């Protein structure tokens, strides 16, 4: 990619395209060249849709040349997670070997909005099979590697999108977040990742519009800057009557939100949410980054958070149970709709862990699910107690720096082995509650990024963007990308 194009934000690229000063074909060509030069090492993309992207760029170029209006993302290359980011006519694998030749037959609603705004889909990014774990690795193409150290993982399950954004392959990456799947890879790859309030980015899933017995799976975006994330949200976040969970428009000005002042705000800081082991090095980086809020005029106070039960109880009765039920539902839908049986003839196409989740989910009863929601209510109440007194809650995003691709199942916090699926992720409690949350680049440990989680009150998406923007102004992180090849 040329020096002229590579540092450009999505906002800058779109402005230049709309003004006729930059051809969208040149923008796409430059980003495709970056993908070609780096994807073999990082495996950020499962599918590169070069022909589609070039054709779309020519269409937008003709529109600009004709003097017709184009949208706020005119000519901006975007990457879609190969899970919920359906785009008709482009290969869609769900990160699963059984679907290696599958092509999407429809376009997701939020993708339609992005394209209507002028964005150009350049490909589908790496994800574990059906997003089932907090790192990105699968039997189809292998791990998504970290641009800052390719021996390390990009995080998951939106790891491909995070790696692509960090490495400059695209300015905007789309992700999904059921337990931190946007924020975890954002922390690992040193980019900004936001999970807005549940229902802020609607979906129109069919044949089951309700999707899960209770909401916890969200959509989000990954970018190098807060402003680009706000730009993407301004396009994606709007009511959709096809989605029963879709939120009404509450008048938030997403584009202005990152510039809002936070002076006088009271911010609660919890190093561990009262339950998680966190490495000392990560804790030190986060506590150093808290100075950004104080420099912006806010006050920061340590707080004790009570989520209602020990980590093991919360993990087993909410995170695991809901994901087991979710996995069983996915498997049932695929078996009925596609004839693919992950517990039968097609078992070898998914990892053993995913098969175990399916079995466990099929054994859950309605009583089991009801009990989970009781435990989940304790998490919600504990978070709400914080917001009864404070404007924001800040934590580490994850407990450890990026982990090695060779030891994805062996996560250790200061030498102590922890459950690799849940115990190092301070993200998933906020999927249980629906609060908006983001991961902001906070620093580094031995050159590896560290993320700080910013959680807002219910429906406080603008507040999360405002606080994130304040951190970016006080502690800009864009210089870190200069270290990449």
Long-range CB pairs of 364-370, under 8 A, 24+ apart, other chains included: 364/321, 364/324, 364/325, 364/328, 368/321, 369/213, 369/321, 369/325
Binning pLDDT at 50, 70 and 90, where does residue 6 land? Answer: low
Binning pLDDT at 50, 70 and 90, where does residue 29 land? Answer: very high
Out of 81, 124, 133, 219, the active site residue is: 81
**What pLDDT was estimated at residue 35?**
97
157 in active site: yes
Q: Are 155 and 180 within 8 A, CB to CB?
A: no
* pLDDT, tens digit (0-9, with 9 covering 90-100), for 438-449: 999 999 999 999
**What pLDDT was estimated at residue 7?**
65
124 in active site: no
Out of 145, 158, 161, 181, the active site residue is: 181
**What pLDDT was estimated at residue 54?**
98
Distance CA 291, CA 146 (A): 27
Task: Say if residue 168's pLDDT is above 90.
Answer: yes
Spell out where 171-296 has E strands. Answer: 172-177, 192-195, 218-223, 266-269
**What pLDDT was estimated at residue 213?**
58
**What pLDDT was estimated at residue 216?**
83
* pLDDT, tens digit (0-9, with 9 covering 90-100), for 246-296: 999 999 999 999 999 999 999 999 999 999 999 999 999 999 999 999 999
Binning pLDDT at 50, 70 and 90, where does residue 207 land? Answer: confident
Out of 9, 145, 157, 234, the active site residue is: 157
Average pLDDT, the chain: 96
For helices 24-42 and 50-65, what crossing angle results, to 10°?
A: 160
Distance CA 185, CA 163 (A): 8
Task: Say if residue 21's pLDDT is above 90.
Answer: yes
Q: Which residue has the tokens 């998914």?
A: 350
**What pLDDT was estimated at residue 2?**
42
Task: Say if residue 1's pLDDT is above 90.
Answer: no
Delineate the domains of the chain, giving CATH numbers in brackets.
Answer: 10-483 (3.90.1300.10)
Binning pLDDT at 50, 70 and 90, where does residue 206 land? Answer: confident
181 in active site: yes
Burial of 173 (0-12, 13-18, 19+ CB in 10 A): buried
Query: Which candidate, 274, 319, 308, places its Cα nearest to that of 178?
Result: 319
The structure's pTM equals 0.97
**What pLDDT was estimated at residue 298?**
98
Q: Are 92 and 130 within 8 A, CB to CB?
A: no
Tokens (6 digits) for 414:
């200061």
**What pLDDT was estimated at residue 292?**
98
**What pLDDT was estimated at residue 438?**
99
* pLDDT, tens digit (0-9, with 9 covering 90-100), for 98-156: 999 999 999 999 999 999 999 999 999 999 999 999 999 999 999 999 999 999 999 99
Distance CA 196, CA 462 (A): 9
Distance CA 255, CA 302 (A): 31
Task: Say if residue 348's pLDDT is above 50.
Answer: yes
Binning pLDDT at 50, 70 and 90, where does residue 203 land? Answer: confident
**pLDDT above 70 covers what percent of the chain?**
98
Q: Which residue has the tokens 């250790």?
A: 412
Task: Say if residue 321's pLDDT is above 60.
Answer: yes
């Amino acid at each position: 990619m040329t020096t002229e194009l590579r540092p450009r934000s999505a906002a800058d690229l779109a402005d230049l395209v709309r003004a006729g000063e930059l051809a969208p074909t040149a923008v796409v060509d430059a980003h495709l060249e970056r993908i070609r030069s780096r994807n073999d090492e990082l495996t950020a993309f499962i599918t590169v849709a070069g022909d589609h992207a070039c054709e779309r760029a020519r269409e937008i170029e003709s529109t600009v040349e004709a003097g017709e209006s184009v949208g706020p993302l005119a000519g901006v290359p975007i990457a879609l997670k190969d899970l919920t980011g359906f785009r008709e006519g482009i290969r869609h694998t769900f990160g699963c070997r059984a679907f290696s030749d599958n092509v999407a037959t429809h376009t997701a609603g939020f993708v339609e909005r992005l394209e209507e705004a002028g964005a150009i889909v350049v490909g589908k990014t790496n994800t574990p099979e059906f997003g089932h774990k907090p790192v990105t690795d699968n039997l189809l193409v292998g791990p998504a590697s970290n641009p800052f150290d390719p021996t390390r993982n990009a995080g998951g399950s939106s790891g491909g999108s995070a790696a692509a954004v960090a490495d400059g392959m695209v300015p905007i990456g789309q992700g999904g977040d059921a337990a931190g799947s946007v924020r975890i890879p954002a922390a690992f790859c040193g980019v900004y990742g936001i999970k807005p309030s549940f229902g802020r980015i609607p979906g129109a899933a069919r044949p089951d519009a309700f999707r899960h017995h209770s909401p916890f799976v969200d959509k989000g975006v990954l970018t190098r800057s807060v402003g680009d994330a706000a730009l993407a949200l301004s396009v994606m976040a709007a009511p959709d009557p096809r989605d029963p969970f879709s939120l009404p428009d509450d008048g938030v000005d997403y584009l202005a939100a990152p510039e809002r002042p936070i002076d006088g705000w009271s911010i609660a800081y919890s190093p561990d949410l009262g339950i998680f082991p966190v490495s000392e090095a990560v804790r030190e980086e986060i506590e150093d980054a808290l100075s950004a809020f104080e420099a912006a005029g806010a006050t920061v106070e340590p707080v004790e958070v009570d989520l209602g039960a020990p980590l093991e109880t919360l993990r087993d009765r909410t995170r695991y149970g809901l994901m087991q039920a979710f996995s069983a539902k996915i498997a049932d839908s695929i078996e009925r709709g596609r004839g693919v049986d992950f517990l039968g003839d097609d078992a070898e196409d998914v990892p053993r862990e995913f098969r175990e989740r399916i079995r466990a989910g099929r054994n859950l009863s309605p009583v089991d699910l009801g009990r989970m929601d009781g435990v989940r209510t304790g998490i919600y109440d504990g978070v709400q107690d914080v917001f009864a007194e404070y404007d924001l809650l800040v934590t580490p995003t994850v407990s450890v720096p990026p982990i090695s691709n060779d030891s994805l199942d062996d996560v250790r916090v200061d030498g102590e082995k922890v459950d690799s699926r849940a115990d190092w992720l301070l993200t998933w409690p906020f999927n249980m509650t629906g609060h908006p949350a983001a991961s902001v680049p906070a620093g580094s440990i031995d050159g590896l990024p560290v993320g700080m989680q910013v959680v807002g009150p219910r429906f406080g998406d603008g507040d999360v963007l405002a606080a994130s923007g304040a951190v970016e102004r006080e502690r800009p992180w864009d210089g870190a990308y200069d270290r990449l090849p």
